[in-house]
């Protein structure tokens, strides 16, 4: 039976799953769940995924959600997956897990908070809470500093690795979500982190051509969002 991947290319973890599958020659059927339209909350989708989130996979009679778990499952199931994605060495594998565990409470938390307060709320005519916006930006900047000074201190990829792991794929896709910010805010937040910016470029190169293809929807939406935000503020970007 064909592996089914329920996803939305606007979703950071969905993009990580899709890039990984394409990089490793995993055959799958992509089923789009439009999260901006709330399709993740329909009774039909909740019947197979009570969490009402993407991504999710259905592999035969097995259903799995949470992107980190899905990627680990793929690495263990498919012998063709290159070992650098999920090392067999216990110590190296533990390092990858440590990055993944750190991700959600730090980089993802800060990134989501900044995007919600600076993009999604304003575009929907909801006033942003300045205090929450400031707290989210501080959380994001702290996470980027840890990326810059700790996770990337010993090599071009996370945890001192010479090739990307599933952790790089997840976290780079998260950083790419910041493309939805205004150009000014995006550059102000990211420009101080030279190692982070180089790591993004290195991961793009290591996953070409699939990285650009899978992020195409994000880039298109970035243009649309920036035009809308510029119109609301009376500026032309």
Q: What is the pLDDT along the chain (237 residues), one digit of tens a residue?
A: 799 999 999 999 999 999 999 999 999 999 999 999 999 999 999 999 999 999 999 999 999 999 999 999 999 999 999 999 999 999 999 999 999 999 999 999 999 999 999 999 998 889 888 999 999 999 999 999 999 999 999 999 999 999 999 999 999 999 999 999 999 999 999 999 999 999 999 999 999 999 999 999 999 999 999 998 888 777 544
User: Residue 236 and residue 53: Cα distance in Å, rounded?
Assistant: 35
Question: Of the CATH numbers 2.60.120.10, 3.40.50.2020, 1.20.1050.10, 3.40.50.300, which one belongs to the domain with range 85-234?
Answer: 1.20.1050.10
pLDDT value of residue 44: 95
Residue with tokens 């594998």: 93
pLDDT value of residue 192: 98
Distances (CA, A) of 13 to 60, 81, 109, 138, 157: 22, 19, 13, 23, 18
Identify which of 6, 24, 16, 8 has the alpha carbon closest to the alpha carbon of residue 167: 16
pLDDT value of residue 128: 86
Domains 3-81 and 85-234 share a fold: no
pLDDT value of residue 236: 46
pTM, two decimal places: 0.94
- The topology (CATH level 3) of 3-81 is Glutaredoxin (3.40.30)
Identify which of 42, 33, 45 has the alpha carbon closest to the alpha carbon of residue 6: 33
**Beta strands in the chain, from DSSP E residues, in sequence order:** 4-7, 29-32, 56-59, 62-65
| Structural domain boundaries in the chain | 3-81, 85-234
Are the CB atoms for 231 and 122 separated by under 8 Å?
Answer: no
């Amino acid at each position: 039976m064909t592996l089914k991947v329920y996803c939305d290319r606007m979703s950071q973890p969905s993009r990580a799953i899709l890039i990984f599958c394409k990089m490793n020659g995993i055959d799958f059927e992509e089923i789009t769940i439009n999260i901006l339209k709330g399709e993740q909350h329909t009774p039909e989708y909740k019947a197979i995924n009570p969490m009402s989130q993407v991504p999710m996979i259905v592999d035969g009679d097995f259903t799995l959600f949470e992107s980190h778990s899905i990627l680990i499952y793929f690495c263990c199931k498919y012998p063709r997956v290159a070992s650098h994605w999920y090392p067999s060495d216990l110590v190296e594998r533990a390092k990858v897990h440590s990055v993944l565990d750190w991700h959600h409470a730090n980089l993802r938390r800060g990134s989501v908070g900044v995007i919600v307060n600076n993009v999604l709320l304003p575009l929907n005519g909801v006033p942003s809470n300045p205090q929450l916006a400031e707290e989210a930006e501080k959380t994001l900047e702290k996470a980027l500093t840890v990326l810059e000074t700790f996770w990337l201190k010993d090599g071009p990829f996370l945890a001192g690795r010479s090739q990307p792991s599933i952790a790089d794929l997840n976290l780079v896709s998260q950083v790419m979500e910041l493309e939805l910010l205004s150009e000014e805010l995006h550059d102000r937040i990211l420009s101080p982190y030279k190692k982070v910016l180089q790591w993004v470029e290195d991961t793009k190169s290591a996953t070409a051509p699939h990285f650009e293809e899978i992020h195409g929807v994000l880039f298109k939406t970035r243009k649309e969002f920036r035009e809308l935000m510029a119109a609301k503020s009376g500026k032309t970007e």
